Chains A and B, each alone.
Chain A
Amino acid sequence: AILMTQSPSSLSASVGDRVTITCRASQGIRNDLGWYQQKPGKAPEFLIHAASTLQSGVPSRFSGSGSGTDFTLTISSLQPEDFATYYCLQDYDYPWTFGQGTKVEIK
């Protein structure tokens, strides 16, 4: 199975900060990568597919980039509602696999 490694596992940031989360695949996955946001006690919400395509309704402060093995999720100006855990998911090959998650906390 393809291993997805996210970094950092957690970070502290302030409202208005620029935040970057990385996700590395153990082998090339083209751009077959999605990003999810999850708040405590809630189901995940789909943010980005195909590495960089924003899902309808997702604020433009979220962006994604990357191809092959290295990917990033960027939040350009962190808002109070963005404090959550973020996961990447590769849908290049079965079994699909998630990264271990990155928790974004308030500084």
Chain B
Amino acid sequence: QVQLVESGGGVVQPGRSLRVSCAASGFSFSSYGIHWVRQAPAKGLEWVALISYDGSDKYYADSVKGRFTISRDNSKNTVYLQMNSLRPEDTAVYYCAKSLVDWGQGTLVTVSS
């Protein structure tokens, strides 16, 4: 069955960087686009980014454009979200999702001094 496992979350100071990962299994990874969606504590869902099946197309929310970079390694069935210049308002659970149908369990990123 489809499985998506996020990792790499943690506590980071404002202005620093962090990379979260999404390891996929149970489907033909190189055939699907993968999204990142985040949810700040007690808040709603916010779509963050999408990478196409082959990595050739990438799209971002206005709130992260220029600071976050999505990438993928199809040989490792893994998608990454590189987050630079982090702000307290980036604190959230970060979910990856296959075509926004199948979701991982999320990884918590806390930006705090």
Contacts and interface: CB of A to CB of B under 8 A. Distances in A.
Interface residues of B, number: 18
Given A34-B100, A94-B59, A95-B62, A43 B44 contact: no
Nearest to A93: B59
12 contacts: A1-B61, A1-B62, A34-B100, A36-B45, A43-B104, A45-B103, A46-B101, A89-B45, A96-B50, A98-B44, A101-B44, A101-B45
Consensus secondary structure, chain B interface = strand
Interface of A: 1, 34, 36, 38, 43-46, 55, 85, 87, 89, 91, 94-101
B29 interface: no
A36 to B, nearest CB: 7
A48 B53 CA distance: 23
Interface string B54-67: 00000111100000
B47 A98 contact: yes
Interface of B: 37, 44-47, 50, 59-62, 95, 97, 100-101, 103-106
Contacts of B104: 43
Contacts of B106: 43
B46 A43 contact: no
A86 B6 CA distance: 23
Among B95, B97, B101, max chain A CB count under 10 A is at B101
